[in-house]
Chains A and B, each alone.
Chain A
């Protein structure tokens, strides 16, 4: 009945409802496991416990209904997948908070208080803000507004101001060089302290740089893909490879100045992926990897952080009580989880330092086991494939920017997920980035929701999907 006038997004709505039920149940479980006896079995008591996780879900439902009205053709799988991951994140923060209360921090006024009190509510707030951002990005008629005042659509506007984005990225990096702080002694000065909250500029940087690269590569695609011939030697078009060298320099700079290996690795990988998609030249990727490898090797000998990380990766046991402690404990946590996990609230995930941020995946895999861990990997893979699917479906030779943007944004999620889970599992050296949507942390959640908003917008205007509308 609603279908025709509303174009109700049935698949999305149903999937969201399933996710909602799943998390209402698991969140109750967490509340019971974490604080048995503290819950009163009245509707009010249950609502008290459930609201921080259920409220954001209700917003997800609202977004879905809003999309039915405004963008009925936008991809229907993205939102449920994101809801699933964000819900997992909420559930895990709620699960980990009581165990993290033992860690005490000295406040600015000298008082000692638990470092992580209230992270559950905070994460809930971040997710809600993320959804609000999603709503703003989706439902404010940006195209109309920009057409009226700038005579351009949103995507064209993003495309057009590429050097502004580049400047913004460079400014962000410079600002972190100058004002970056290291609030949790991780050795990485990658945060801004805004008093009320900490902001991780690399989270914004990655989106801004992807927009710039998508625009640059789209415009210069043919030239970059062509080759110069100097004698028998085929050479790449050197002037147009400035971004390649620039990105390389940027990555190395990030490592040297900020010790932020994770962000550097991620940005450089995303860049290589976009370069390859734009040009189809595998040799660029290999050359880029070679240059990154050479740079890393030099840094391995110069910057102690790189060396430590690689040494830990190769043999964490040798420094099990020192720098390898985190990884060794993570391996114990994973191994103790086994196939079905210890069950929510029954494990000891907080033995691993940073269990709610960098090592949230081991916390999940300890308590939900191989089954839960594989489930999460599958959700990420579905999300990533959906993103590439959206990119492939963008048609028409005049929309290369959107195509590359979708590829870049999806690759951010893919690479970031791979880097942190791979680091957790000791498949690659550990570098600290957040696990998209699941890790505790405001900037990460907000920016990831922004990525989803952009992907949804790109998918909404895909004519092939629109043609399939009934």
Chain B
């Protein structure tokens, strides 16, 4: 009986302690309660396991000693909790005061992090974009050597900022454990034992600094985004988003003469870039901005048409000024309100409309008809091949691109949207409820350029340890075959037609290189007080070059930029020219 009670008490104490150990650290009143309850059980178990003694002072002293021992067991368990069981969580815990917004974190972690010599971030040819300088006191400061050469904001979204107060973004965050050397646990132990400063791995990107700068130059001060991919490997050659931020503004220098002023400087910059009117400079529009793609989406519809020629009948099409869809819905109209079919029938030589011509002249009514012929299922199927998801299938982040935070692109937003013929028709020419990122449109172009094989986009080429050994070398990875090569070839011809004689002529800016492309003018409502029904338009352009064997795929998106065939095509042409000039074979 005694024995049974003893073990029951011990078991209860152990169970309580395990329960307590599992409690989250921000709710550890429960832990303290279970600790003390367990102590009571331990006291009972201890009392039962002591040999019985005759009443007297000796027995009283024994009981007192038992009480003290249990007290010290409580201390031991608490020490175990703080220093072993939950040590990692507690040491890294950050607490935010709900009222004042003040954060409390472990200063040791902050100081240790300030001393870590993070690795470099290099461009494709090894030019350092970010490096670490060791200053007084063994502190390390993030430096941006190209900030004086190019616009200091040009690499902001890709490399990200590194701040001791506001965290990290971009590559600094996604590859933080490599850059800080945390990934290599063996070397960390060696560093600790040998008292060496921690040196992180270097990350070499696929980005080309000159192309990146040229792309930013082409975009100018406009709000928007440019993505340049190598279609054969998926490598991101340039990724620009405007407005941008200067990572120097958030880089803390612990050796600054006045630390308070240094903190104030960073605080002010942080407030400035997070201010309401600042246009969200921290948002990487290339991967996190979702827009209606406008007519560039006709590329996806055209692929669907070619994948299902029996239903869609690609070359039996017309381009009326208006196409009715269903009762009660306004008919689909073209951007060129009247007489587009006449243009299509006459240029470049008189002929009947076919897929190439309606694509080159971006005929809305034709693509609405194609979409209605295909039906929602086939539209969804093809969009999904391009990783443009139905809302119910969409993941929280786009899994195809993991180097930076990226949102998935959506074919529509409200469930069941495509069941209406009007919605299906709108989606077919790129309006509807489409929500697509510039990266995704660049991938559409790149897939066609790569003979129908969609490659996983990637930003990191290799990761190199301080001693020069390569930890990670990127291998191009295909996502899936979206279309057979002959359809891709036909699509390239269609895109070439768009630039050669269609609405994308402004993109034909590279001497001796055949550029293919598709413009897009994505209308969205931007009501003002005077005009509630006012429409604005994002300018889009996707391009590939050279059409026969493309080496570059470009997506240009300019918020509220007007017509894609003008500004979009122009910027795309400039970017392509810079790409051929800066990146040799």
Q: Is the CB of B83 within 8 A of A422?
A: no
Q: Which of B90-98, B166-174, B319-327, B376-384 interfaces with chain A?
A: B90-98
Once bound together, how far apart are the Cα atoms of A318 and B58, in whole Å? 46
Given A277-B61, A317-B26, A370-B83; A380-B78 close (CB under 8 Å): no
Q: Is the CB of A418 within 8 A of B106?
A: no
Q: Is the CB of A426 within 8 A of B72?
A: no
Contact with B along A396-434 (1 / 0, CB 8 A): 000010010001000100100010011001110000000
Contact with B along A308-345 (1 / 0, CB 8 A): 00000011011011000000110111111111000000
Nearest-neighbour CB distance to chain B for A284, whole angstroms, equals 11
Q: How many chain B residues touch A (Cβ–Cβ < 8 Å)?
A: 45
Once bound together, how far apart are the Cα atoms of A336 and B35, in whole Å? 22
Q: Which of A154-162, A244-252, A381-389 interfaces with chain B?
A: A381-389
Beyond contacts A317-B26, A333-B108, A425-B79: 9 other A-B pairs, Cβ-Cβ < 8 A, are A280-B55, A317-B95, A335-B89, A335-B90, A336-B91, A365-B79, A365-B83, A381-B72, A388-B61
**Which chain A residues lie closer than 8 Å to B95 at the CB level?**
317, 320, 328
Given A280-B56, A320-B95, A338-B87; A332-B78 close (CB under 8 Å): no
**Which chain B residues lie closer than 8 Å to A320 at the CB level?**
95, 97, 102, 104
Cβ of A133 < 8 Å from any Cβ of B?
Answer: no
Q: Which of B62-70, B350-358, B400-408, B535-543 interfaces with chain A?
A: B62-70
Cβ of A300 < 8 Å from any Cβ of B?
Answer: no
Q: Is the CB of B87 within 8 A of A403?
A: no
Cβ of A391 < 8 Å from any Cβ of B?
Answer: yes
Task: Choose from A318, A335, A336, A400 the contact partner of B86 (Cβ within 8 Å).
Answer: A335
Q: Is the CB of A427 within 8 A of B104?
A: no
Cβ of B283 < 8 Å from any Cβ of A?
Answer: no
Given A276-B64, A280-B56; A332-B69 close (CB under 8 Å): no
Q: Is the CB of A348 within 8 A of B68?
A: no
Once bound together, how far apart are the Cα atoms of A334 and B72, in whole Å? 17
Q: Is the CB of A427 within 8 A of B32?
A: yes
Q: Is the CB of A381 within 8 A of B80?
A: no
Once bound together, how far apart are the Cα atoms of A391 and B91, in whole Å? 43
Once bound together, how far apart are the Cα atoms of A403 and B80, in whole Å? 35
Q: How many chain A residues touch B (Cβ–Cβ < 8 Å)?
A: 49
Q: Is the CB of A335 within 8 A of B102?
A: no
Q: Is the CB of A392 within 8 A of B61?
A: yes
Q: Is the CB of B57 within 8 A of A348?
A: no
Nearest-neighbour CB distance to chain A for B149, whole angstroms, equals 39
Once bound together, how far apart are the Cα atoms of A276 and B65, in whole Å? 12
Cβ of A377 < 8 Å from any Cβ of B?
Answer: yes
Q: Is the CB of A338 within 8 A of B104?
A: no
Cβ of B264 < 8 Å from any Cβ of A?
Answer: no
**Which chain B residues lie closer than 8 Å to A317 at the CB level?**
26, 95, 104
**21 sampled A-B residue pairs with Cβ under 8 A:** A273-B64, A276-B64, A280-B55, A318-B97, A331-B82, A332-B91, A334-B83, A335-B89, A335-B106, A336-B87, A338-B84, A338-B87, A377-B76, A381-B69, A385-B69, A391-B57, A392-B61, A414-B71, A422-B74, A427-B32, A427-B78
Cβ of B107 < 8 Å from any Cβ of A?
Answer: yes
Q: Is the CB of B79 within 8 A of A348?
A: no
Q: Is the CB of A321 within 8 A of B64?
A: no
Q: Is the CB of B90 within 8 A of A411?
A: no
Nearest-neighbour CB distance to chain A for B95, whole angstroms, equals 5
* Closest A residue, CB atoms, query B104: A320
**Which chain B residues lie closer than 8 Å to A318 at the CB level?**
97
Q: Is the CB of A332 within 8 A of B60?
A: no
Q: Is the CB of A334 within 8 A of B90?
A: yes
Q: Is the CB of A370 within 8 A of B64?
A: no
Q: Is the CB of B29 within 8 A of A425?
A: no
Once bound together, how far apart are the Cα atoms of A145 and B234, in whole Å? 97
Given A377-B75, A384-B65, A388-B64; A351-B107 close (CB under 8 Å): yes
Q: Is the CB of B65 within 8 A of A388?
A: yes
